[in-house]
Amino acid sequence: MAPEEFVSLGEPLSIGDFYRSSQFPETITLTDGTKMRIRKCREVLDHINSDEKPVYGVSTGFGHLENKWIPTEKQAQLQLNLIRSHAIGTGQIVPSLITQRAMILLANSLAKGHSGIELATVERIILYIQKGIIPVSYSIGSLGASGDLAPLAHVALSLIGEGEVEFNGVIQRTEDILKKIGIEPLHLKAKEGLALINGTHFITAYGLTLLEEGRNTLMHSMLAASMSIEALRATDTPFDERIADVRGHPGHIIISKLMRNMLEGSQIIASHKDPLIDHKTQDAYAIRCIPQVLGAIWDCFSYLERTLSIELNAVTDNPLVFPKTETILSGGNFHAEPLGFPIETVSMALIELANITEARIARLVSPFTPELPAFLANSPGLESGYMIAHYTVAALVNKLRGLGHPNIIDNIPVSGNQEDHVSMAMNSAVRSKEILDLSFECVIFEIMMAYRGLKLVENPPSSEIINKVVAYFDGLGVFQEDDHIIHDILQIFKKEIEENRIMQILEDSLDLPLNFN
């Protein structure tokens, strides 16, 4: 393996580096310089701690117990007690991909050389990642301040040989797995337990997954909108670059360009541009304002991407060790407010994406849409067509709107009011994944229903991209003229789209941006 293929934790990482380290854990490494930095930081911490001066979380208790002195001989027990008492998450098990990514972020932060961690502890986290030992953690328990305490404590618990892990797809006792593969549990030293749980790594992992999958959702949303435009015989005038340029928002400009590319060469659009033949001056807002709405959503993702590119390289531990000046400082880098705002912003954006998607679906099935048969039925009246498919989308959108309340505007003081303002960003992050999944499902419905609209009515050729997508689904035999079990057809669309078959067509045919900035 060439050195340039390695992902060196502790060094500046791009978001692309991070995704590569998650996909190919074997590429993760520590440079000699990083190892030296970790060792030096630990030496400084031990030197300062030897003076028997109060150092938060090293020679004192935690939270409201910060004034309780802990003698040297009990400091290792303090860390063990910390991990065991803080591993109290509940709710659903965090998906293994999120936990794996949180561990990469944790190791990267510790490797910066400001946490006082032992090198062996960082190497143990990397070993777990590379061997596919994924601690079982839980989605509820972090307040997004003082770090993701409960979720990260479950990770730390596995490092000391306790709790549970997922290994080869099966949840098992950590102790049994470590014995099976011949690994001894870690024995934590002063401050190490605190360093392992004081960070924003789970929230950041959710955010990075939201960013990655959100791009996929937005690209499919543009495809769905393009297919609806064709099925509804709408105009492409709103995507004219001159309209975007005079307003100037980056997302608006990008979306207009991508929509023009998706519709390029359409003979359907060309067929009704003649002002004397079936000409439309303006379409409904759900079509005419696609660049403004999806463009604003694009800009929300841009905000999230900028924030994550900083946070994935951040040190979010407390207290922090500064080896050059041999200083330990207590602060609040564990507070996740910088993450909470962009995650909440993207969550609202995705709900809006679902809203405008539903508005176009409503036009596809409307009995008052002259371009298509009522409810996309082959024989309206005898058949219901896709009437109830719209009901299901309406239920999805209602569910999304119920999820729209932002968690970060709430605050519940804890730890005897010592921790009197928390971000609640972990709940924001977990909720964002549900919002993402539901909004993507709405997009899948639109692709399925716009495809049907294109098949029910004889049209001139569509754009090159849409022709390829329609031909792909034709090859799967999903079009049935008469009433049928739509659920079965939906499952085919979901499978093909979720396995990136359609995204591959888009990426092979279009110059799609790899990021939002």
Supply the DSSP string of 132-162, one letter for each residue: T-EE--EEE---SSS-SHHHHHHHHHHHTT-
Quick one: residue 52, left, alpha or beta (phi over 0 = left, psi -120 to 50 = alpha)? left
Total Cβ atoms within 10 A of residue 251:
22
Euclidean distance between CA atoms 233 and 372, whole angstroms: 10
Q: What is the pLDDT of residue 1?
A: 44
Are 9 and 29 within 8 A, CB to CB? Answer: yes
Tokens of 48: 């300062």
Q: What is the pLDDT of residue 275?
A: 54
DSSP structural state of residue 186: P
Known catalytic membership, residue 56? yes
Euclidean distance between CA atoms 127 and 55, whole angstroms: 30
pTM comes to 0.95
State whether residue 516 is helix, strand or coil: coil
Q: Cα 380 to the chain's mean position, in Å?
A: 41
Euclidean distance between CA atoms 335 and 143, whole angstroms: 9
State whether residue 16 is helix, strand or coil: helix
Q: What CA–CA distances, in Å, run from 129 to 13, 166, 173, 194, 501?
A: 17, 11, 17, 20, 29
Euclidean distance between CA atoms 245 and 62, whole angstroms: 55
Total Cβ atoms within 10 A of residue 383:
18
Euclidean distance between CA atoms 484 and 488, whole angstroms: 9
Tokens of 275: 């002002």
Q: Which residues pair with 8 in a beta bridge?
A: 29
Burial of 310 (0-12, 13-18, 19+ CB in 10 A): exposed
CA nearest neighbour of 48 among 330, 316, 322: 322
Mind listing the pLDDT tens digit of every residue in the chain (517 residues)? Answer: 444 589 999 999 999 999 999 999 999 999 999 999 999 999 999 988 887 778 887 888 777 777 787 888 888 898 999 999 999 999 999 999 999 999 999 999 999 999 999 999 999 999 999 999 999 999 999 999 988 999 999 999 999 999 999 999 999 999 999 999 999 999 999 899 999 999 999 999 999 999 999 999 999 999 999 999 999 999 999 999 999 999 999 999 999 999 999 999 999 988 766 655 555 678 999 999 999 999 999 999 999 999 999 999 999 999 999 999 999 999 999 999 999 999 999 999 999 999 999 999 999 999 999 999 999 999 999 999 999 999 999 999 999 999 999 999 999 999 888 888 999 999 999 999 999 999 999 999 999 999 999 999 998 999 999 999 999 999 999 999 999 999 999 999 999 999 999 999 999 999 999 999 9
AA identity, residue 243: I
Q: What is the pLDDT of residue 290?
A: 98
Q: What is the pLDDT of residue 273?
A: 65
For CA atoms 248, 251, 254, 259, the dihedral sign is negative
Q: What CA–CA distances, in Å, run from 193 to 71, 158, 163, 304, 418?
A: 16, 12, 15, 30, 20
Q: What is the pLDDT of residue 76?
A: 87
The catalytically annotated residue of 56, 128, 206, 386 is 56
Tokens of 408: 């970060």
Euclidean distance between CA atoms 360 and 224, whole angstroms: 10
Euclidean distance between CA atoms 439 and 435, whole angstroms: 6
Tokens 């002195």 sit on residue: 69
Tokens of 498: 């979720």
Q: 173: part of which helix (H) or strand (E)?
A: strand 170-173
Euclidean distance between CA atoms 39 and 110, whole angstroms: 11
CA nearest neighbour of 318 among 307, 306, 331, 305: 331
Euclidean distance between CA atoms 177 and 81, whole angstroms: 23
- Report the relative pairing of strands 164-167 and 134-135 from DSSP bridges: antiparallel
Euclidean distance between CA atoms 31 and 122, whole angstroms: 13
Domains and CATH numbers, the chain: 3-199 (1.10.275.10), 206-411+418-509 (1.20.200.10)
Euclidean distance between CA atoms 18 and 7, whole angstroms: 8
DSSP structural state of residue 326: T
